[in-house]
Structure 1
């Protein structure tokens, strides 16, 4: 949560005030994929930001809660038990009831073309359900919106926790991350920088080609589904410029068309932090890339 607060304070407009109440010391333990929890919370925060174009208050809070039978009966997907409830609230424009009825449908979006795929809240809900939790929404037009994520608390402290190998850090390599989803772009950039990579970003294929010509990155992480110029066309153009460029393709769709693309690896979405770092770790170079003052 500390990293999310840092991203909000450094990248969100200054006219959005962040208020946080996260008593981490008193919260019970949950068993969850940290990267996916980060993903869903950033998604909700970005939606809250977009709902307040003229400014407002973005509130983050967390608390322990026990869901009883009454509560479970009136909330879809809820089951009785102890949870950690994480709330993301805004004072924005609110969501009309007719939109709330469709808000979790795949591909449904109220945003303009090029501002999102409509997969956000559908993906958020799927990840939460995969953790045994559920998502609650309350919104009033003109007053704001509150999303609450309920993640089951861990009750058996003797249960076996999966052990993962040490996460592999980079050696200062320069990575070009290409994705039309602002949330994924920001999350991936922040994560890679934490693990000793340098990052430049692009939001479509044309932008990716321009960024490559300017910065000559060591590796490109390319989303396949983008407006203007898609991943397949951009990869072909980059291969014409540098046939030896290392390229990792990424997509939420695994289709036969991707099998013919000349890439060095394929990373399915949504990917975990471990999967991302392991994939990039295959291409460690002895000589790291330095941006110097180009990024200033």
Structure 2
């Protein structure tokens, strides 16, 4: 009776020719595993998980030959077919000999403990992965910043010279056009780096993801060959998300292309959109701020799956399993960066022979949420001269920007960093209408410079320019106190960023 009230399963083993066999099991086994004691004795090792069987047999042999307590963990099959984690403590009783004594054993259900340990391990792995991706993001963003400065100098000068060149200079104009086109392609490359580093400038608007996918159906179908079958499952009643439409389309495109490349012999690609359910709770918990409603985008293939040893690296920039020249390794990195910047989470489900599914979890919003406009208008609308303080630590970018503005009739004050800009502004007795400053500079960053100058010039308008935007100036832009100009840029974009600020003051310069 006492044994029946103990939480653990009590049992004894005796040696047999091929190892050990049960000769007693307490009735607690019925509560914990669903078998009667008689059934348990008859089943023996047949219900031990195959991966654990060898270790169980080895530890049992040790218990027969040693007076010390032997402890080990293993999985055993419940009557319902699922495996449960147990911990056995074995100790030999009786005389020790070549055949060993009878072994007394206690089996404890440790399923809850194992689950907690697994959850703690997953949390630790998530933190380590987040730190690694954050470090890679900073590296990628830094590369994009430097690269965009170079592209601004190269492409900006090429477009500026092209404006000044007579139409008769065909050969030179063609060469400049090729330079500008190459810079545009390189700029797309840096935008992918910025997407991964979560430093891209987004223009969120209320979007219905099923509508975005529906608009892309024809284009996605053309992207695939006849050996692929593209299927869609777009559920009704999906709430809107706040997202940048262009970037959302790029996410869908990148995932479909990735699925296509995973099946060189062809196969089926599923694109699904739905509202989250209770089954998604674990993934939603990994979102930066789990919202009340979540929209799920899934892209699945029927390929061979992603090997387990590389799964944690697939979102790293420049990591690719494709042949040389067939992939940049930025597609999934861009997906990861955009989703995280949008407050979402990316889940990967993959197995050998079962294909791969990417699940994108994004927070839903109210349909009436206004769009956040952070892009500069492109049409200049100047009337009379302005004074612009240009600040950039990159000499090539600074000289080009000043030349463009002077060409358009602006008065320009030029500074190589924030400290010099503050000194020049303090010593300038006339108006300074616009501060055009880089964001990331040594010593004093652009936002700090703007704050300091506004103390003495409260009507100062600000334009931030950068190839590596930050969250601080974007908040400045949202308050209507600044405009953002992304590098690389050409003269039309530069003038378009400054002209609306000038118009508010009633002073501007007609571009030439």
TM-score normalised by the chain length of structure 2: 0.31
Q: Is residue 305 of structure 2 the alignment partner of residue 94 of structure 1?
A: yes
- How far is 1:140 from its partner? 1.0
Residues 12-54 of structure 1 deviation map (CA, whole Å, 9 limit, x = unaligned):
111100110123x511011100000111111010000011111
1:159 and 1:9 map into 2 onto residues whose CA distance is 32
Pairing partner for 1:109 from 303, 306, 320 = 320
Q: How far 1:80 moved relative to its partner?
A: 5.0
Tell me if the contact between 1:67 and 1:83 (Cα under 8 Å) persists in the aligned partners.
no
Structure 1: where are the runs of 5+ without partners?
169-253, 255-265, 284-296
Supply the distance in 1 between the matched residues of 2:360 and 2:225 (Cα, whole angstroms).
Answer: 24
Q: 1:66–1:80: 8 Å Cα contact kept in structure 2?
A: no
> How far apart, in 2, do the equivalents of 1:14 and 1:269 lie?
41
Cα distance between partner residues in 1 of 2:266 and 2:224? 10
The reply on whether 1:120 has 2:331 as its aligned counterpart is yes
Distance 1:45 1:282, change over 3 A: same
Residues 192-231 of structure 1 mapped to structure 2, 5 A cutoff: none
CA distance in 1, matches of 2:248, 2:239: 16
List gaps (5 residues or longer) in structure 2: 1-212, 379-439, 441-464, 470-484, 494-512
Hey, what does 1:161 align to over in structure 2?
Answer: 371
CA deviation after TM superposition for structure 1 residue 9, in Å: 1.4
Larger relative contact order (CA 8 Å, sep ≥ 6) = 1
Is residue 21 of structure 1 aligned with residue 21 of structure 2?
no
The structure with more radius of gyration? 2
Shift of residue 122 of structure 1?
1.6
2:276 is the counterpart of 1:71: no
Report the equivalent of 2:294: 83
Q: 1:133 to 1:43 in 2, by over 3 A?
A: same
Partner of 1:129: 340
Q: Which has the higher helix share?
A: 2
Aligned length: 182
Of 215, 222, 226, the residue aligned with 1:10 is 222
Query: 1:144 and 1:68 mapped to 2: Cα distance?
Result: 20
Residues 248-259 of structure 1 correspond to what in structure 2 (within 5 A)? none
The one of 271, 275, 280 aligned to 1:60:
271
Indicate the SS of the match to 1:81: coil
- Does the 8 Å CA contact 1:75/1:136 hold for their aligned counterparts? no
Tell me the residue number matched to 1:41.
Answer: 252
Distance in 1, Cα, partners of 2:374 & 2:313 = 38
Distance in 2 (alpha carbons) for counterparts of 1:27 and 1:107: 34
Judge conservation of contact 1:72–1:78 (CA < 8 Å) in 2: no
